[in-house]
Copies of this chain bind each other. A is one copy, B any other.
């Protein structure tokens, strides 16, 4: 294949310094360099190839995943990679595996909920992978509601042990990744029962399989829960089921940092503040938002590059057809997603800062910002993941028919991302907002992302000053419109909740509207953090300018999409809404020449993207044609089954054929 860059012309059009933009995207030059090194390491290693993944049977795919995980671990040890480097390497391998749970859930659970002695006993083994662990929380009949779990851990003072048991079918552990076939250990969540009393759900370290022959230990039934969404995708993971038939573990395998059971069977709460749990949640959610911006940016990169290759209609006098990226309909769907990828990247960065801030405060026994941080991270997690899932699917549609091919990479990207989406976060933020509104005027200090509510009086009656389309480019104008919308919707909803004699009934009855309030608030946060980012120094020719354009696209597209909110609360007039829409169209024209460079800035290798449509050089059609011949169906010219099932039809022998 000739080394022609079909996007060369597009790349020349860019009006900003690409290298500097890459660093902005990565977060720092240091991270950019590590990330780039790890990406190349994975891309150049044949063990990590993944282009045949959707062709494998479940068993072969799983074995391939085990091989990749072992090889990655080998390379991590050989190259003495740091934890940061090792994490990046694993993420570029881009194939869900038991290691994700071992490093991402099992170890953090022990670190967060275990005592120092437990740390000393378990963590060194886990770090060396002498044991492999997973996180066994959800059950067949119980998902988000942890308090509804049925598995029991009954303390037996006689033997100083817990008896772990699955009393019902619905209590079977169900979904934990790495559980089905690999993990030797699990942190199991179960109802603690001492002396006939139920003390709620706690975590226990339970060995599942023998370290000698990998067979399940007595009393343990464990297996894989079966095929999941799509081909390839998350089927590389052994999501598992697990049942306990009175399995005994020593007392010191209950994670006892926050609560203990004494030798005598007494349940004791420690003086460690329970709020620490929320600190961990803030951490986990920050990584989820970060994953969302990454997944969305991959999809956007594929769709943008292919939109510059693909041509349709608009041919005049025999000239080539129009690049689809030049159509306003395409731009109006694609560019807001491009802007969202950047917006989520920056809000993710801010969440990292928030986590550090919260952690420092916790260490100083300052819990004042925790509820707000808890609520806002829950809401952002929920909002960014759902926009990302929908956005990946939208990018697939934007690729036309070829987006439906497995080698477009988009079906698998979508399938793999889906489990990241969790929706219950909206409720958390909605309830927090209602509480905040109810305390307005009480003198309680409004912190962090709810600070704007302190200006409720002004925001309830302010009028948007936009007179011409260009006025919509002012950050202060955008910000005030979003703040006013969020405040007005919150207060209106709060009043309606107040009309119910029992507020819980009000919450239940109005929950769909409360979710809209939560969305308004979370969108405001993202907009405001994007604007804050732009108040910093950002080096590199044209870089800041491009980000300003994207920030405006992000905000004005939301305004256009949720026009009903803005207009019906009187935050803006219909005329101002129309002006915003007009400005948005102009912004699309400004994004257009920079679009390819803006996705190049993500710096994704062709291996990582895993998409024929999104390949760097844009030589899409030749690659599609070559890839097609690799399908197993093309191994023979006449398909297997011809003699039994096609010939009898053609030859009119079907009545007598043995099928």
Interfacial residues, chain A to chain B (CB-CB below 8 A) = 47, 54-55, 57-59, 62-63, 66-67, 69-71, 73-74, 77-78, 128-132, 138, 140-145, 148, 169-170, 172, 174-175, 180-182, 184, 211, 213-216, 223-231, 234-235, 238, 241, 311-313, 315, 321, 327-329, 332, 393, 397, 400-401, 404-407, 411, 415, 418-419, 421, 423, 508-513, 515, 562-570, 574, 577-578, 581, 585, 621-622, 624-625, 627-634, 637-642, 644-650, 652, 654-655, 657, 659
Are B655 and A313 interface neighbours, CB within 8 A? no
Chain B residues with CB below 8 A from A629, complex form: 223
- A628, B224: Cβ atoms closer than 8 Å: yes
User: Considering the chains assembled together, what is the distance between the CA atoms of A169 and B626 in angstroms?
Assistant: 11
Q: What 6 pairs across the A-B complex have the smallest Cβ distances?
A: A563-B564, A568-B574, A564-B564, A231-B231, A227-B406, A66-B645
Which residue, A130, A311, A650, has most C-beta atoms of chain B within 10 A?
A650
A241 to B, closest residue via Cβ: B628
A–B pairs, 18, beta carbons within 8 Å:
A55-B58, A59-B633, A69-B645, A132-B646, A144-B312, A145-B313, A169-B621, A215-B638, A223-B628, A223-B629, A227-B406, A238-B639, A329-B515, A397-B423, A512-B585, A562-B564, A567-B567, A567-B574
Could you say which residues of chain B place their CB within 8 Å of the CB of A225? 405, 624, 628, 631
Q: Which residue of B lies closest to A184 (CB)?
A: B650
Q: How far is the CA of A183 from the CA of B629 in the complex (A)?
A: 18
A67 touches which one: B58, B327, B634, B659 (CB < 8 A)? Answer: B659
A308 to chain B, nearest CB (A): 14
What are the residues of chain B within 8 A of A184 when measuring CB–CB?
Answer: 650
Bound-state Cα–Cα, A558 to B645, Å: 48
B313 and A650 form a contact (CB under 8 A): no
A65→B62 CA distance, assembly (Å): 26
B contact residues around A650 at 8 Å (CB): 129-132, 184, 211
With A315-B148, A628-B223 in contact, do A214 and B406 touch (Cβ < 8 Å)? no
Q: Name the distance in Å between A47's Cβ and chain B's nearest Cβ.
A: 7
From B67, B511, B566, A645 is in contact (CB under 8 Å) with: B67
Which of B73, B406, B508, B562 contacts A229 (CB under 8 A)? B406
Copies of this protein in the complex: 2
The residue on B at minimum CB distance from A74 is B654
Taken together as a complex, chains A and B put the C-alpha atoms of A585 and B182 apart, in Å, by 48
A54 to B58, CA, bound (A): 9
Q: Which of A58, A231, A238, A624 gathers the greatest number of chain B CB atoms within 10 Å?
A: A231
CA–CA, A642 to B568, complex, Å?
61
Contact flag A328-B226 (CB < 8 Å), given A563-B564, A621-B141: no
Chain B residues within 8 Å of A224, by CB: 628, 631, 633-634
A624, closest chain B residue (CB): B140
> Which of the listed residues A70, A241, A313, A581 has the most CB atoms from chain B within 10 Å of its own CB?
A70
Across the interface, do B405 and A226 meet the contact criterion of CB distance under 8 Å? yes
Among B129, B148, B652, which residue has its beta carbon within 8 angstroms of that of A130? B652
Q: A657 and B148: CB pair below 8 A?
A: no
Question: For residue A642, which residues in chain B have a CB less than 8 angstroms away from its CB?
Answer: 66, 214
Instruction: Give bound CA distance, A511 to B585, whole Å.
Output: 11
Chain B residues contacting A404 (CB-CB under 8 Å) are 228-229, 234, 418-419
Q: In the complex, are the beta carbons of B407 and A71 less than 8 A apart? A: no
Check if B214 sits within 8 Å of A646, measured CB to CB: yes
B130, B145, B321, B407: the one contacting A227 at CB < 8 Å is B407
A439 to chain B, nearest CB (A): 25
**Apart from the given pairs A142-B312, A411-B415, 5 other A-B contacts in the complex at a CB distance below 8 Å:** A67-B644, A143-B312, A145-B321, A329-B512, A564-B566
Q: A293–B577 Cα gap in the complex (Å)?
A: 35
Which B residues are CB-close (under 8 A) to A423? 397
* CA distance in complex: A271, B60 (Å): 61
Q: Inside 8 A of A57's CB, which chain B residues have their CB?
A: 55, 57, 632
Contacts of A312 in B (CB 8 A): 142-145, 148
Across the interface, do A231 and B227 meet the contact criterion of CB distance under 8 Å? yes
Q: What residues on B are CB-neighbors of A577 within 8 Å?
A: 564, 568
CB <8 Å contact, A508 and B328: yes
State A570–B568 Cα separation when bound (angstroms).
11
Write out the residue numbers on chain B whose beta carbons fall within 8 Å of the beta carbon of A407: 226-227
- Nearest to A629 among chain B residues (CB) is B223
A182: B residues at CB distance < 8 A: 639, 646
Whether B228 lies near A230 (C-beta < 8 A) is no
- CB of A86, distance to nearest CB on chain B (Å): 13
Is B180 within 8 A of A641, CB to CB?
A: no
Task: Flag if A637 contacts B328 (CB, 8 Å).
Answer: no
A315 to B69 alpha-carbon distance, docked (Å): 42
CB contact under 8 A between A634 and B223, given known A66-B641, A564-B567, A568-B563: yes
Of B132, B630, B637, the contact of A216 (CB 8 Å cutoff): B637
Q: What residues of chain B lie closer than 8 Å to A211, measured between beta carbons?
A: 650
Query: Is B59 in contact with A632, judged by CB distance below 8 angstroms?
Result: yes
Residues of chain B within 8 A (CB-CB) of A313 are: 144-145, 148
Question: Is the beta-carbon distance between B515 and A228 smaller than 8 angstroms?
Answer: no
Q: How far is the CA of A585 from the CA of B510 in the complex (A)?
A: 9
CB distance from A408 to the nearest CB of B (A): 9
Closest-by-CB residue of B relative to A313 is: B145
**With A55-B58, A77-B654 given, is the CB distance from A510 to B328 under 8 Å?**
yes
Q: Are B406 and A228 in contact (CB under 8 A)?
A: yes
Alpha-carbon separation in the docked complex, A578 to B516 (Å): 13
Minimum Cβ distance to chain B for residue A207 (Å)? 12
User: Which residue on chain B has the smallest CB distance to residue A423?
Assistant: B397
A130 CB → nearest B CB, Å: 6
List, in ascending order, chain B residues with CB within 8 A of A421's CB: 397
Contact, CB under 8 Å: A400 / B143? yes
